[in-house]
Structure 1
């Protein structure tokens, strides 16, 4: 190792000439320092380049659309279009994408441990012996001392600690990607629920409108019979009360549709939307599902389970990293320095290898290992709990789907019977042999039967969506 030579005798140099020398020698100094940095960095970095290249390359985050999707005034929206819009507009999706970007930056930070660490210094000190300021003509007047240097440090071997840190961050990024898929499943499910909610409310409003129409027709008949002296005033009063109750139900149904539109707009990621229509797809289409197969698919495809397993893998790597806390650290360094009170400055350089061996750190490593193992145990318990939750969700969805399927078939028959019953009751009343109670009861039964059929269709669709989410096979349609 070469040392900086002793300072030359101080000489007073005129300021203008000294500045010229300073600028010239500083340029030479920077060129030399740059050559040292480039040469040593290339040499040292090549020793760990293979390790760094083994790391998984970063994948770009799917950027959110700059122009978010929307729709035209009065446009009819299908279920696929609603889901596709929700996927691209919901802020939860954007937040999950941001988490991936954060994780990728952390991977880059961890990989920086493989690269050389370069530090540069430059300084100027002014020394003034006693009395020099009072008498500048003295030979021991104040003088300046200039220093500059650069140091390059390179990790040579740390027993895999840096590589483990990189692996931990890469596993975290993968868990964030699984989180994004889980958030997408949640957004899709909410959009489907809101879509079928609105369709159900619109169907119920149609039932309410038809009920009002039927009671209005009955009121007109009762009034005509009363005016003709065939029926008593009671029939008219009863018909008017039934009509008023039907109108109250219609008011509630109309407001329910308005609330359903608000909920669907929010599920798509809108605060305010133009008027739109929804394509009625509330029909019965058999959804084949085998309980045992659904369980296997869920354990293979469920994104939140994947995310938890990746976090468990990260915790296992964290245990390995903690156990390496007492491992030695081998590093190399090279540096160049310049100093003196007169230009050109004296030169010096150093190069060396150091081995840091931890001896005692107050049992910190032991407790770090204990913390990492405890975190791993927590995640293992959460995995067991999530598997139980998945099993329960699929069983519940399967049972609800089966029940709704049977209710759809039964309610179809009930609607047919209720329509026949209403036709008989209204026909009897028109013929003058029936009474208003029969007509009102038949109308209520028909309204309830139609409502029950709509609700059975709705529950079947929601159960199907719940099973798809529980299995983890939800697909993202393209915006049309």
Structure 2
């Protein structure tokens, strides 16, 4: 092969490489468009906290639970891998704009009755698709839109994991509070049983009173055992969502002092409009529609003409006689008849656009419903939170009066048991109301597409 031929090929390839290519390992700089790996910092964490790989021995806060979830939950690795895959597909689409260079070497030994000789050959083949009726442009646009969908899906998954971490944490906290409440109810039932037994021993209470009090104590003990089991399950679920095996010891931090701030946005229509603009899953659905539209252009272009330029310098040596040569050509491909393949490819691509558009519209309706339900649930939880404060206060006073009257001999055991049962129920309702408020506040933020670390800051306790 002559030196001028090699120089021509080298110059051609240099001009073909993209300007500003990062490196040969990533000449199209797809790393620059790849989203960062899900982490607390990528989700808006203000403090630069490194990812912990173990559950801390210190009491776990809600922020700690979210940090561990975003660092260790396998779903974060899954969605990041999907985004990196789609970014690489953008590089694949861009590679179609460059020429292909193939090399071929051959060596053989030939013999016959007259003589034997060696044959050696070498060739380089350069082919460049210079016109394809827009197929490469459509393929590149589809890859870019699918990358945008993958990035938005990653954001949506991060918010979903954020919500799952908060739900599991608040559920575990509520379960622990329920254990304390049922333990206190068991103590009160034991005190009532002791009072009934004392009255029975002095002859001022019937055996029925004593049996009723004993039954109430057994029921309170059973409730405490059941709630303790639920608390252990809640801790196991929390460990799982944080990316650890269930059964690891977890110590929860105490709930925030004071009462939750019940102030939040009142305009549900504005929240729905904000959700339609911010929800990452809706952005992903819109990108899927645009990718499908690019697929229609690609299907049409695949049935249209293409032009390819090729060059192939060659060298051969046969029986010590060498020769140089080459070929330069232009190939025009005109698809005259493809058995209606293009027709049905276009029809299928257009149906895919309709499918993606319908899925996007369905999701938009679901987004509005998610916001509406979360808003109404938060409103109900806020009202319940206020009501349970009065409920617990009145139930505590009623229980104290009933116990005092029974000990003084002027009350009956049914009044005492009724008051104790009402107090235990009121305390559990208070715990459930607080759990609902924290969970639905986070759910509303996720429904709007605004769930991040600002929700856990003290100044934002009342913001949905």
TM-score (norm 2): 0.88
2:13 is the alignment partner of 1:41:
yes
Quick one: distance in 2 between partners of 1:455 and 1:227?
Answer: 40
1:32-61 CA distances to partner (integer Å, 9 max, x unpaired)?
Answer: 764353134346x28x979xxxx9954244
Choose which of 400, 405, 414 in structure 2 pairs with 1:428: 405
Match of 1:189 in 2: 163
2:254 is the alignment partner of 1:271:
no
Q: Which deviates the most, 400-409 or 306-315?
A: 400-409
Quick one: distance in 2 between partners of 1:154 and 1:247?
Answer: 81
Choose which of 330, 337, 340 in structure 2 pairs with 1:363: 340
1:87-108 CA distances to partner (integer Å, 9 max, x unpaired)?
Answer: 1111111111001111111111
Quick one: distance in 2 between partners of 1:275 and 1:206?
Answer: 17
Match of 1:91 in 2: 74
Aligned pairs for 1:123-272 (under 5 A) are: 123-129=106-112, 132=113, 140-272=114-246
1:310-369 CA distances to partner (integer Å, 9 max, x unpaired)?
Answer: 010101111111122232212222221112313352110222223222222112111111
Match of 1:16 in 2: none
Quick one: distance in 2 between partners of 1:113 and 1:71?
Answer: 46
Match of 1:19 in 2: none
Quick one: distance in 1 between partners of 2:224 and 2:274?
Answer: 44
Match of 1:390 in 2: 367
Choose which of 307, 325, 328 in structure 2 pairs with 1:330: 307
Quick one: distance in 2 between partners of 1:305 and 1:223?
Answer: 65
Aligned pairs for 1:342-361 (under 5 A) are: 342-343=319-320, 345-361=322-338
Quick one: distance in 1 between partners of 2:93 and 2:2?
Answer: 30
Deviation at 1:64, TM superposition (A): 6.6
Quick one: distance in 2 between partners of 1:64 and 1:218?
Answer: 55
1:216-265 CA distances to partner (integer Å, 9 max, x unpaired)?
Answer: 11222222223333333333322222111110111001111101100111
Larger Rg computed on CA atoms: 1
Q: Secondary structure of 1:269's partner?
A: coil
Q: Residue 222 of structure 1 contacts residue 231 of structure 1 at CA under 8 Å; is this kept in 2?
A: yes
Q: Residue 38 of structure 2 contacts residue 70 of structure 2 at CA under 8 Å; is this kept in 1?
A: no
Q: Which deviates the most, 341-350 or 141-150?
A: 341-350
Change (3 A) 1:404 1:199: same
CA RMSD of aligned residues (A): 2.5
Quick one: distance in 1 between partners of 2:116 and 2:56?
Answer: 83
Quick one: distance in 2 between partners of 1:418 and 1:216?
Answer: 18
Q: Secondary structure of 1:69's partner?
A: coil
| Bigger RCO of structures 1 and 2 (CA < 8 A, at least 6 apart) | 1
Choose which of 292, 295, 307 in structure 2 pairs with 1:315: 292
1:124-160 CA distances to partner (integer Å, 9 max, x unpaired)?
Answer: 233333xx2xxxxxxx212222211111112222232
2:268 is the alignment partner of 1:285:
no
Q: Secondary structure of 2:33's partner?
A: coil
Quick one: distance in 1 between partners of 2:404 and 2:53?
Answer: 51
Which stretches in structure 1 are left out of the alignment for 5+ residues?
1-28, 133-139
Quick one: distance in 1 between partners of 2:424 and 2:222?
Answer: 14
Choose which of 401, 405, 411 in structure 1 pairs with 2:378: 401
Q: Residue 83 of structure 1 contacts residue 477 of structure 1 at CA under 8 Å; is this kept in 2?
A: no
Deviation at 1:412, TM superposition (A): 1.5
Change (3 A) 1:64 1:442: closer
Quick one: distance in 1 between partners of 2:456 and 2:204?
Answer: 63
Q: Residue 287 of structure 1 contacts residue 464 of structure 1 at CA under 8 Å; is this kept in 2?
A: no
Quick one: distance in 1 between partners of 2:57 and 2:183?
Answer: 22
2:80 is the alignment partner of 1:109:
no
Q: Secondary structure of 2:96's partner?
A: helix
Which stretches in structure 2 are left out of the alignment for 5+ residues?
21-27, 40-49, 458-464
1:451-475 CA distances to partner (integer Å, 9 max, x unpaired)?
Answer: 1121122222222122111111111
Q: Residue 340 of structure 1 contacts residue 346 of structure 1 at CA under 8 Å; is this kept in 2?
A: yes
Q: Secondary structure of 1:292's partner?
A: helix
Quick one: distance in 2 between partners of 1:208 and 1:102?
Answer: 51
1:184-208 CA distances to partner (integer Å, 9 max, x unpaired)?
Answer: 1111111111111111111211110
Q: Residue 311 of structure 2 contacts residue 329 of structure 2 at CA under 8 Å; is this kept in 1?
A: yes
Deviation at 1:173, TM superposition (A): 0.9
Change (3 A) 1:101 1:322: same
Quick one: distance in 1 between partners of 2:350 and 2:222?
Answer: 63
